[in-house]
Structures are given as structure tokens and as C-alpha cells.
Structure 1
């Protein structure tokens, strides 16, 4: 992340600027901008830091430090708890001071919105581990269970146009789209997806549900020899026996051919 500056309003003749507030270590620059009737310099009575940070080395502003007019004085500070605001109180001898509030850092999620993560934890356990809320609210939660629940008002719904529900992944497995980057050939010398692994249906989009299809097929089997013709005929204590009019099991035979099509949804397309 690039360096950021926060310019604060002038207060009690002191102008301040916060640099790199998004980092663990940041600085605050103070400038004394007096009126014509004010003194040429003022003296620091104390600098107090509370909340989620401390004063960092080198210590440049402390009790007894003189602020000359129009001169910048910078002090570094260090975050000790990024989740807490930092309050910086600067007091002067014989005149009002000022208080600066440096906001807490918003946690940056390195996992982008739209990512699906499998977990062996149940939702309550996962929410606790991810520092999320178990009582689900799409406008507040960072994560949503993939069980078809509403995501209306979430960042995902805004990014995933036309969708207001989370994908329902219960009992399914994911299948990659044939093409993730529409300009893949311009940026990466990769061949198109092979016929062996491609989705035979065209035009599928992320989040589409694809039913399973088991085509018409057959298998060849060959059994073991029967332990005596009598056992095969009687049907008792049968062990390693295939019946098919071939006691010696010398030939190979086909199974019955399966159904032409067997539907059972088990794929959800994703990038």
C-alpha cells in the first residue's frame, strides 16, 4: 500500500499532519502557526499516548521541547494493537493543547471476495476461528456458508452481478470453467483446455449447477472357478462362484448395459 497522509485541521494554533497512518509505524508532524499577537515559540508540557499505540524512537517531542513558529516537528508512533484507536494528547505550558485521534486499522483480508474455502469446522467453529460473527448478517459477515442462503447487501452480491444467494455446495464438488480469463491467450501462452478435461457444454458461467451424466457403458468380467459344480447348483456355501452356464469360468462375458443417462447433480462451476 502506498504512503497516505491525513491532514488535520488547525487547532489552538497548531497544525498537524499524519503520515503513513496505515502502517504499524507512522508519524505526526506538528507546526506552530501563531497569530501576530502570539509568542514566537511555545513549550511542550507533555505528550501522552493512549489506546493501541506508543511513542516510537527517536523521541523528538517531549516535556520541555520548544515549538518555534512555522517550523515542523515530527514524532514517530508505533501501533501496539491495530484493532484499537490511538489517542495522542499534546499539552503546552500556559496555553491549550490538542488531541489527535488516529483510527484503528481495518483488517485487510488477503483472501478476495468470491473465494470458496473448504473447512472441516462447522459454521460456528469456523466463524470463531475467522473472527467472524456466528449470527449471520450478509451486510456484516466476512464469510457466508455455501448453503444457498441470502447474500443480499453483501460485497459478494455487489461483485457477483445478478446473484443474491450464496452457491449451494452441499453434496457437490467444484468444476473449473473452460476459460477463466477471456484474454488468456494475450497474456499467457497456454493452450485451450484439452478435450479430455473440458466441460462439453458451452456457455456455462460461474455458479451454474451441472447435473451428473453417466453415459451408456459396459464392463467385462470373468469369475473364479466354482468349488464344485454341486455347490453352484445348490446355492449353499457359495464362495468365489460366478454362475452363467460356465462352470469352469473359461469365458468372458459382458455386464448388462447401464442406463443411457443417469442424472444426479454433483457439479457447481467456478473459476
Structure 2
């Protein structure tokens, strides 16, 4: 299994000097099995670069793209209109989300309607399909087994545990600690994972002013990694106010709590 990071920022892109070492694009992660099957997690602005890479790989041949959406907040969807496979005849883009099929299509269409975008969703050259996923019910993407699970976030969101090739990764973005049921559920689903990708948007001081906004702290992420006995933790969904220097300091503090901690950065590839 290979995990590639195409977008790691939360809330809004940060294409500014001082932020580009870690990366300024919003959330998009690619998980690829040894047989070449790819699962895309979220469609923030990072999906634009991934789309060009997938289009080059397809070289004009028919194919399928699998895209699992944690939720429909803007920073996890704003790159979708610029995703090259959607404009490629012969491609099928299959969306997985925890709502009914008609609503998935309505939400996708909504962000590409006039006057917000010039190309209607219904005019895309690729075929699009939707799959409703349900809490705790695994689904298959090629050789991958994907288990969705609910997380504590305004209007709801889901994470995913992906297992393939004897390895496992847990994608847990946009969650807030403090709900006993959600916290224990997340610990259980993350237990023993080779890699935990965790929301870590806030410092503890910042969180005190943003309680209820649906995000957690680096401190809680390290506590989760410890309790879940994961192999490696990557801090993700970086706050748009945190530049490279700030994130370096945060990572240093996090390593003191959980030694196998790193920062999710654009372009990072992790082999599991």
C-alpha cells in the first residue's frame, strides 16, 4: 500500500510564502494498492494535481476512479470542478459518501451550477456513479476493504479505515474530541493501524476558543495514537494560520507525546 498526500491543509488553501514547505492545498489523499487500484479520499484543491496524474496514467484509455468523500464541507469538495478525469470520455468516476444517492448527486451538482461555475455537473464527459456507504459496513474497492465510521463534526462526517496488502491506514479528518461515544469508536476503529492520519488543526490554546467547530488538537491526536496503538501518526488538516515554522514546532511537541509522529505534507509518500 502506498499513501500519497496531494492536499493537507484545512479550511482554505494557503498559497503563500512560508506555508509551501508543508503545502497549501486542501484535503486530498490517494491510497493505492500493489495491483494499482487507487482510492481517492476527499476532493479539496489537492485533487487538481492528482487528476492530472491520473489522466496521464490513463493515457486516454477507459477507466474508473474511486472517490470517497468524508463530508461535503467546502474545503473537502472545492477542487472537484478542476478534476481532470471528470472531463475525460470513457472515464467513470464513482463517488462514495454517507448519504443517499440522490442527495450525493444534488450536492455535487450544486457547487457547479450557474453562476458559481461555467460547466454544469450534468455536462461532464465522464460517467458518474454514486454509492451510499453506511456506518461500520465495509465495502470493497478492488482488493481494498474500506470501513466507514462516523466522526464528531458539525453536520456529520465520516472517516475511513482501508486495509489491503497486509497493511492498514485510518483517515480521520474533521473530528472533534469530547464525545465519549465517538472517541471510543475512533479508538476502536484505529486500533493497530499501521498509519493514522488525524485531524490536528488546533493547538490546545486555539481549541479553547473554537470549541464546537469540529476539529481537534495535536495533543489529542497523540493521545489517540497512543491509546489505539498505531504504528505511525501523521498530523493532518493543518490550520490556515499555521505556517511551516509553526507546524514544525507543533510536530516537535507532538513527538514528545508519541515518538512516531510526523506532519502530512504535500508530495509525501508513505509505503506500508
Same fold (TM over 0.5): no
TM-score, normalised by the number of residues in structure 1: 0.22
Q: Which of structures 1 and 2 has the bigger CA Rg?
A: 1
Q: Tell me which protein shows more helix as a share of its residues.
A: 2
